[in-house]
Amino acid sequence: ALGGKALGAAAHGTVSGAATGSHPAAFAAVFVPMAVVAVVGAWVATRVVVREK
């Protein structure tokens, strides 16, 4: 059901035009910030210190 093109334009009766294909800028716009969040999270994880009670 999440196959994208498997249930794409033909199944929904819409016209497929410029909306199909890859969009490298859109990929970068999502991937780069998430990669930064992952790197910052990994760095923060190294800084966490468990305090002795």
pLDDT (0 to 100) of residue 27: 92
pLDDT (0 to 100) of residue 5: 61
Q: Which two tokens stand for residue 24?
A: 């490298």
Whether the full predicted model's pTM is greater than 0.75, yes or no, is: no
pLDDT (0 to 100) of residue 49: 82
The residues of the chain scoring below 70 in pLDDT are: 1-20
pLDDT (0 to 100) of residue 19: 54
pLDDT (0 to 100) of residue 53: 79
Q: Output b/e per residue, 2-40; b: 16+ Cβ within 10 A.
A: eeeeeeeeeeeeeeeeeeeeeeeeeeeeeeeeeeeeeee
Q: What is the pLDDT of residues 37-47, one digit of tens each?
A: 999 999 999 99
